[in-house]
Amino acid sequence: MARMSALAVALAYRRLVDESAALRLLRADNAPVIAALLTTHLGAPGARLPVEDLHELIDADLEVLRDHIDLPQTARGYCDDWRNAGFLVRRPAAETRGETLELAPDAVVALRVLAQLDAPRSTITQSRLLSLAQAVRQLAIDTDPDTTRRLASLEAERDRIDEEIARVNRGEVDVLDGREALERVADVLLQARDLPGDFAGVRARFEELNHQLRARILDSDDQGNVLDDVFRGVDLIETSEEGLTFSAFSSLIRDPERSSAFEADLGAVLGRDFAGYLDPDSRRTLRSLVRDLKRGSREVHGELTEFARGLRRYVYSQEFQRDRALRDALQSALATAVPASRQVKPYADVPHELELSALRLATVGEIAPHDPTDYDTGAALPDAETESIDLAALAAIARESEIDFAELIDNVNDVLTEHGAASVAEILRAAPATQGLASVVGLLSLALANGEVRPEDHERLAWTGLDGVDRAADVAVHVFTERI
């Protein structure tokens, strides 16, 4: 493979320095304070705190730190800066309507680098070399297609195990001394302390993969393949290379038999004599290793499932069609703007006004404090005493608010029984309007629905209002021709 030139490597590293949040944290002015606060409150595996709780804890620490270091901002201001810099990740809380903050993958890497520099551990150990050699040998065996060599390797391993069994039966047991045992425990702890960063990196990779798949759906060249897979029920995130790797890891840690055996082995290690030389943090890490693995796997699997559901919902609800139309409109506008920019400068005045759909800018002084008395409804209303109901009074109230169509229909039918056909004026002469204008309006509406209107003829309607005043109106003739 051809070696990269110094220029290519330099440009790649410069891009890394500009984009890596881990390097931004390490070269920040207050890097010691940032690292100390983040490690203290979010350094535990899977640590995640509500925003307000984290602000409260950091504000308390800032009161002490200000005696030694100039820290002018509040916890809220610093957390906002760290989130914008990529040190923290904000997520919606599952139990409440608030939000939580947790370490970003790059922040975990930076804190790991500082911890290793603060307490360096030797990586040239016998246990690490043995683990490396065993891993390489197992890889060579598992990838060897020659059945003869593979069978020979298995027989050699069997002979070694038989010899070991015989030695144990004779009482010849080689137990690791304390120094070698502590070396192996240190290697286990190094891998265990890398797990939070590994889980955070997996979540970040799945988020990136989710964005890439949505972008491919919007891409006209690659849209068909992705949409076909989604409609056929293919989980593109879980079937990706990262998804398959994580699924294999998750299936192992969720296997009850394997996890129980793993936990039993950790308990046995902590019960050995050499474990007494471990510091409390190391013992706590080993004791909670299986629980941390399960919790991290469960959180990543939950986000993986949510991404898959969101992608299917994005396709099935046809939301991508709206986004494609918006993208096409933006591209068309940009394509039109390029030749226009050669004729008209961006800062030139144009004889048009465009109202933007944005929030109105306002000062803080316009904010009115909440006054609970504005929502005071006064004293509670007392229970009214039970009284008897006057049906005649209720009927009178009903007649004042509603037209008595039942009475009007009876009046119309009585007149039609004698005359066969009658106009509204004739109905009013035979049965006066007991509800005043309401009765007149009711008769006109009944005639409109059940009779006929003769707009060329007019007649005068006369009635007495509820106030006792006689009134009249000239209207088109409305005739009832049959009973209602």
Q: What is the pLDDT of residue 237?
A: 63
Contacts of 213 (CB under 8 A, 6+ apart): 226, 236, 237, 311
Task: Please report the beta strands in 8-63, taking only residues with DSSP state E, as ranges in sequence order.
Answer: 49-50
Q: CA-CA distance, 199 to 398, in Å (whole number)? A: 72
Distance set, CA 323 to CA 214, 312, 330 (Å): 10, 15, 10
Q: What is the pLDDT of residue 156?
A: 83
Strands 470-480 and 99-103: what pairing? unpaired
SS3 70: coil
SS3 279: coil
SS3 458: strand
What does the DSSP 8-state code read for residue 267? H
What does the DSSP 8-state code read for residue 274? G
Using alpha carbons only, how large is the chain's radius of gyration in Å?
Answer: 42
Q: What is the pLDDT of residue 58?
A: 92
Q: CA-CA distance, 222 to 216, in Å (whole number)? A: 6
The CB density around residue 96, as the number of other CB atoms within 10 Å, is: 9
Q: What is the pLDDT of residue 360?
A: 67
Name the helix (H) or strand (E) containing 422: strand 422-423
Mean pLDDT by 10 residues, the chain (484 residues): 73 85 88 90 81 91 89 90 89 74 86 80 59 70 78 83 82 73 76 70 75 74 57 59 68 75 80 80 80 77 76 77 83 85 78 72 71 74 74 67 83 85 88 85 86 86 84 88 83
Domains in the chain, CATH or no CATH each: 6-118 (1.10.10.10), 181-339 (no CATH), 395-480 (no CATH)
Q: CA-CA distance, 437 to 411, in Å (whole number)? A: 16
Q: CA-CA distance, 433 to 465, in Å (whole number)? A: 8
Q: CA-CA distance, 309 to 319, in Å (whole number)? A: 14
Give alpha helix (H) positions in 43-194.
51-65, 75-85, 105-118, 126-142, 147-169, 178-193
Q: CA-CA distance, 274 to 279, in Å (whole number)? A: 11
Q: CA-CA distance, 13 to 406, in Å (whole number)? A: 91
Q: What is the pLDDT of residue 37?
A: 92
Q: What is the pLDDT of residue 57?
A: 92
On the 0-12 / 13-18 / 19+ scale of CB atoms within 10 A, 348 is exposed
Q: Which two tokens stand for residue 429?
A: 């002469």
- Phi, psi dihedrals of residue 49, rounded to the nearest 5°: -125, 145
In the predicted model, what is the mean pLDDT of the chain? 79
Name the helix (H) or strand (E) containing 476: strand 470-480
Q: What is the pLDDT of residue 1?
A: 42
